[in-house]
Amino acid sequence: MKPIIEMSGVSCRYGSVLAVNELNLQVPEASVYAFLGSNGAGKTTTIKTLLNIIEPSAGSIQVLDVPSTKIGPRELAQIGYVSENQKLPESLTVKDLIAYSRAIYPTWDDAFCRALLDMLDLPLDRKIGQFSRGMKIKAALLVSLAYHPRLLVFDEPFSGLDPVVRDEFITALQEILKQKNCTVFISSHDIDEVERLATWVGFIQKGKLCLSESLETVRTRFRRIQVNFPKGTLSPNFSLSEKDILSEISEDSARWVDTAYVDAETVASQIVARFPRDTVHTTSPLSLREIFITTTHLTHKAQGVAR
């Protein structure tokens, strides 16, 4: 299947600062792609380039089979965009905003809009300028969904939202995604929240993409391995190899992260080869947060070696 977003060698420079560095990324159609990175990693810049808000300094982007620099009203009518910083027309009420959006989107669905209004619990006659941050995000979501976009782009949608609103937002989004077959590209540094939605994941660090895979593959590949030694047999001088990522040694056990886990048998044979026969080992999956920390650690290590 052809990806809905395809970036090749995209770089973005602000003066002497390289915000995005040779990004190669593909977002499959009908996926929920979580684009994760710490603050200032280059997530927002990447999103702005793919929506033609800023031009990349190098490389090319295809969005909905159109080069990003050629994106116009026709493509934008199929894209929904919700951002923490987006400036909605604050002097309009929700009702006015709906009337305005209905006129500019040919595929606007009134019935779906009413359903969304109920789900998001937004007051029709209040001005958007009087809304809290959470309600503004909900209003943006309403006018970005009611025309059935093929692609939804979220830039830090959870930022500044209280936990209750976050939960409502995610539940509403999950509900909508169940009904509609659209692609979601969501950037965030709130990894735990995004994990509930994502099917694909990309990590960006200092403008460089460190990982881009399906969540299923990533979850399979990253495993924590713990080896328990018989009581009192572990020598005080025992150490793990440098290849063992994020290793920890306690009284009678050693732990590390395996980033190339295949299956239990392979790990068992590796353990047997490395440690005495009477050790017991366990493997456990990592959360997305732990996978992100591991990848960040690996990136820093690689950069250290490169330096």
Partner 1 sequence: MNVILAQLRKDVLTQRFLLLAWALCSAFNFIIPFFHINPVGSASLVGQAVLGIGLLGGIYAAAGVQFLLLAILAARIIQEDPLVGTEVFWRTRPVSRARLLAEKLLLIATLYIVTIFTCGPLSLQSHDYAFPFFSLIFILSFVAFASVTVGFVELILTFLGVGIVAEFFSILMYFLRNFRLSKIVHETQLQNGTVHSYNYNLSSDAASVPSAGVDWVSLVLIACLVAIIVHQYLTTRTKRSLLFLFLALLLTSLLKQFLPVN
Q: Which residue ranges make up the site for partner 1 (CB under 8 A)?
A: 48, 51, 53-54, 72-74, 76-77, 79, 81, 83, 85-89, 91-92, 96, 99-101, 103-105
Identify the burial level of 69 via C-beta atoms within 10 angstroms of its C-beta, where 0-12 means exposed, 13-18 middle and 19 or more buried: exposed
Instruction: Of 18, 1, 2, give the one whose Cα is nearest residue 204.
Output: 18
Nearest CB to partner 1, comparing residues 75 and 195: 75
CB of 100 to partner 1, least distance (A): 5
Nearest CB to partner 1, comparing residues 21 and 45: 45
CA quadruple 35, 41, 45, 49: dihedral positive or negative?
Answer: negative
The three-state DSSP-derived secondary structure of 203-243 is: EEECCEEEEEEEHHHHHHHCEEEEEECCCCCCCCCCCCCCC
Nearest CB to partner 1, comparing residues 159 and 220: 159
CB of 88 to partner 1, least distance (A): 6
CB of 80 to partner 1, least distance (A): 9
CB of 282 to partner 1, least distance (A): 48
CB of 55 to partner 1, least distance (A): 11
- Cα–Cα distance for residue pair 98/102, rounded to 1 Å: 6
Do residues 228 and 279 lie in contact, with contact meaning Cβ atoms separated by under 8 Å? yes
Question: Which letter does DSSP use for residue 93 in this model?
Answer: B
Nearest CB to partner 1, comparing residues 99 and 264: 99
Nearest CB to partner 1, comparing residues 81 and 256: 81
